[in-house]
A and B are shown apart, each in its own frame.
Chain A
Amino acid sequence: MFEDLRELYQEVIFDHNRNPRNFRVMENYDRMVEGFNPLCGDRLTLFLKMDGDLITDASFQGSGCAISTASVSLMTEIVKDKTEAQADALFKTFHEMTTGKEEHINLEAVGKLAVLAGVREYPARVKCATLAWHTLDAALKNEQQSISTE
């Protein structure tokens, strides 16, 4: 019945939505930023543990749709043991992948995150996927306590 949607709702997304990874409050975090999408009410709190410019741990709390939950869950997995510069590069590639400004995205560079490429066909849902990454961006810049997609 939902053939058209399989590109957007891949099994990996359902899996991360049902069982989000790193879904916990972090004790002794170094960075904590809240991300909020006032349009839909999605809310998350991102925690980072840093060692110099290395992200040694990432976790989150919050509630949102399947796309936003899967996105933040996947993100906390992939940024672990990445440097700030590597995470920032991922953010940029992810952003290009989901907003569709580039025709040819190197999906290998984003690994598992490629399952979220389908949102580019759903402009109303792009912010669901990018909220996590904008929150990470703010955490890495260490300049804000909360960010909003609007």
Chain B
Amino acid sequence: MTYPIEQIRADFPILSEKIRNKPLVYLDNAASCQKPQAVIDSIVKLYSHDYANVHRGVHTLSVRSTDLFEAAREKVKTFINAQSEKEIIFVRGATDAINLVAQTYGKANIHAGDEIIITAMEHHSNIVPWQMLCEEKGAILKIAPMNFDGELLMQEFEALLNPKTKLVSVVQMSNALGTINPVEKIIELAHAKNIPVLLDGAQAIPHTIVDVQALDCDFYVFSGHKLYAPTGVGVLYGKKALLEAMPPYQGGGDMIRTVTFEKSTYAGLPHKFEAGTPSIAEVIGLGSAIDYLNTIGMDKIAAHEAQLLTYATQEALKIDGLKIIGEAKEKGAILSFTLGKIHPHDIGTMLDSLGIAIRAGHHCAMPVMDFYKVPATARASFAMYNTKAEIDVLISGIKSLIEMFG
């Protein structure tokens, strides 16, 4: 069956917007993806017909909301193939999920002199929470290095593993470079020394099939908004035994079993980690996004995006002076580049005037920019709804702006 690109494009209303009188070419998907009508409709339907607070009332609307909310949890469970819906914790996003692990698992298990390993290509969200924890505990953050193609140096990674290592926290796909890390191997090596592994899947999950049981990762985190769902919702997956042993994160309503002024007891999983009223509509929207993706098939989306990346890379390399930042053999649909002395912000503004949305900046990965000795890069990132014709618009735009800069 051919990939139903026309139908998919019609499913995303924003794609028919005009930007500065030009058809929108949206290539900033690594920052956030656009939303299909099905997701938008699910939120409108909830607020129009089914909305009330969850897990509380005995009234009809509360029951409806709770059912929809918990159905979304079930959908996430199936989507990433977790063993139990108790392992799916709803949080605000990948950043929130990593902070949760740092503040609970980290505080309970990481002590002075212990080591945490991350990689040289992490997003700030997988650096700063660990730095804060290390500072508090007197623990040490170790950085597994990469080569100039943006590939993790596996021997150096392996050499960092030692009895003091208490956690490995690694990005599955780099948002700044597109590198897909050999996470199966990383997990195998870490587990051989009984070290748990957290995977930051924020960037990977819209592009690939994720099976947390096959991966055998201990924690997996992602954000909804990069998976065609609303902002304000993300997921922490954790193996049940680990989550059960962890102290709670925030205290409040919904996460308790009993409260007296002397002592409170906590709810079981997953509610132990979900204090307060959650992002109800956003969680339900995430469930709808997963339904939508399932109708297309993640394997077909991955194949479509791989073709786009190959084509974009091949055309970009024909442009004199264009340098691709991140040339790993295993790469997701991200094309990060520089154009000599033309600053990425100028590239971004100029492409915007042609209706093309890209990201220009450090991509919340300042250490990656330092590594390549560039202040910033321009980044085009592709999603399920992008086309070769849009890449042609991008490439011709880049050529024109080089001419204009002279």
Contact = CB atoms under 8 A, between A and B. Distances in A.
Interface in A106-139: 122, 124-125, 128
B354 A65 contact: no
Given A65-B345, A125-B349, A128-B345, A4 B20 contact: yes
B350 A64 contact: no
Interface of B: 20, 342-346, 349-350, 353-354, 360-362, 366, 369, 375-376, 397, 400-401, 404-406
Nearest to A11: B406
A2 B401 contact: yes
A63 B345 contact: no
Interface stretch (A36-44, A88-96, A142-150): A36-44
Contacts of A9: 346, 350, 404
Contacts of A41: 361-362, 366, 369, 375-376
A14 B375 contact: no
Interface in A1-47: 1-2, 4-5, 8-9, 14, 18, 39-43
A63 B401 contact: no
B376 A2 contact: no
B405 A14 contact: yes
Contacts of B369: 41
16 contacts: A4-B20, A5-B349, A5-B353, A9-B346, A40-B361, A40-B376, A41-B361, A41-B366, A41-B376, A63-B343, A63-B375, A66-B343, A67-B345, A67-B346, A69-B343, A122-B349
B361 A39 contact: yes
A64 B362 CA distance: 13
Contacts of B404: 1-2, 9
Interface in A41-86: 41-43, 63-67, 69
Given A41-B375, A43-B375, A1 B400 contact: yes
B128 to A, nearest CB: 13
Closest 6 CB pairs of A and B: A65-B343, A65-B345, A41-B375, A1-B400, A66-B346, A5-B353
Given A66-B346, A125-B345, A128-B345, A14 B361 contact: no
A40 B406 contact: no
Given A63-B375, A66-B346, A2 B360 contact: no
A42 B400 contact: no
A118 to B, nearest CB: 11
A43 to B, nearest CB: 7
User: Which of B344, B361, B375, B397 lies at the interface centre, i.e. has the most chain A CB atoms within 10 A of its CB?
Assistant: B375
A42 B375 contact: yes
A9 B406 CA distance: 12
Contacts of A39: 361
Given A14-B406, A66-B343, A8 B349 contact: yes
A5 B360 contact: no
Contacts of A4: 20, 353
User: Which of B344, B349, B369 lies at the interface centre, i.e. has the most chain A CB atoms within 10 A of its CB?
Assistant: B349
B373 to A, nearest CB: 11
Nearest to A64: B343
User: Which of A41, A43, A64 lies at the interface centre, i.e. has the most chain B CB atoms within 10 A of its CB?
Assistant: A41
A126 B34 CA distance: 27
B403 to A, nearest CB: 8
A1 B349 contact: no
Nearest to A43: B375
Contacts of A43: 375
A2 B353 contact: yes
A66 B339 CA distance: 13
Given A41-B366, A63-B375, 12 more contacts: A1-B404, A2-B353, A2-B401, A5-B349, A5-B353, A9-B404, A14-B405, A18-B406, A40-B375, A64-B343, A64-B375, A122-B349
A69 B366 CA distance: 21
A19 B376 CA distance: 21
B275 to A, nearest CB: 30
A2 B342 CA distance: 16
A5 B361 contact: no
Nearest to B396: A1
A57 to B, nearest CB: 26
B393 to A, nearest CB: 11
A44 B362 CA distance: 17
User: Which of A9, A43, A65, A67 lies at the interface centre, i.e. has the most chain B CB atoms within 10 A of its CB?
Assistant: A65
Nearest to A41: B375
A63 B374 CA distance: 10
Contact of B360 (A18, A40, A67, A69): A40
A2 to B, nearest CB: 6
A4 B22 CA distance: 12
A2 B345 contact: no
Contacts of A66: 342-343, 346, 405
Contacts of B353: 2, 4-5
B345 to A, nearest CB: 4
Contacts of A5: 349-350, 353
